[in-house]
């Protein structure tokens, strides 16, 4: 049973891995034409939703494996990992509104530079949070 949960955990990791390339996608969207930028933001919105489902899988399978693991995870490590996961949930959820507003603003020919700035910041924070999460997953005995 543990192998099944580990496999599901890795599938969730692949879904969440989208957040590592997201800052580059948002950054290069500025150079696109308006219809292409609108399509990119729409695709990013769908992929963000998919990554949120991946985070749910990560939460459930990771929580199960933590309780079943014999690795002796420290309480500090568990707290850090849960806080990072909750931060990723929050940042991904917060990012959905500027995505929606920027896409609708492009359709209506409004200035969306403020929304794009928020998207750049949030996507960068998500990537850094995911890198921190991976660091603590690889070096789980550090704390």
pLDDT at 50: 94
The low-confidence residues of the chain, meaning pLDDT below 70, are 70-71
Which letter does DSSP use for residue 111 in this model? -
pLDDT at 66: 86
pLDDT at 52: 94
6 assigned to some structural domain: yes
Q: CA nearest 103: which of 19, 40, 50?
A: 40
pLDDT at 119: 95
**Other C-beta atoms within 10 Å of 98: how many?**
21
Query: Is the CA virtual torsion 125, 127, 128, 133 positive or negative?
Result: positive
Q: H or E element: which one contains 75?
A: helix 75-107
119 assigned to some structural domain: yes
pLDDT digits (tens, 9 = 90+) for 47-69: 999 999 999 999 999 989 888 87
10 assigned to some structural domain: yes
Report pTM: 0.89
Q: How many domains does the chain have?
A: 1
43 assigned to some structural domain: yes
Pair of tokens at residue 28: 């290069």
143 assigned to some structural domain: no
33 assigned to some structural domain: yes
Domain around 53 = 2-138
pLDDT at 116: 92
């Amino acid at each position: 049973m543990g192998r099944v949960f580990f496999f599901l955990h890795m599938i969730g990791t692949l879904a969440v891995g989208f957040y590592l390339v997201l800052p580059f996608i948002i950054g290069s969207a500025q150079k696109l034409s308006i219809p292409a930028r609108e399509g990119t933001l729409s695709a990013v919105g769908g992929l963000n939703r998919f990554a949120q489902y991946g985070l749910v899988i990560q939460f459930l399978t990771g929580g199960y494996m933590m309780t079943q693991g014999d690795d002796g995870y420290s309480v500090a490590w568990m707290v850090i990992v849960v806080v990072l996961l909750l931060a990723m949930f929050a940042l991904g959820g917060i990012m959905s509104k500027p995505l929606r507003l920027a896409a609708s603003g492009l359709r209506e020919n409004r200035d969306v530079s403020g929304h794009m700035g928020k998207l750049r910041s949030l996507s960068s924070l998500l990537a850094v949070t995911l890198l921190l999460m991976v660091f603590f997953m690889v070096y789980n005995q550090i704390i």
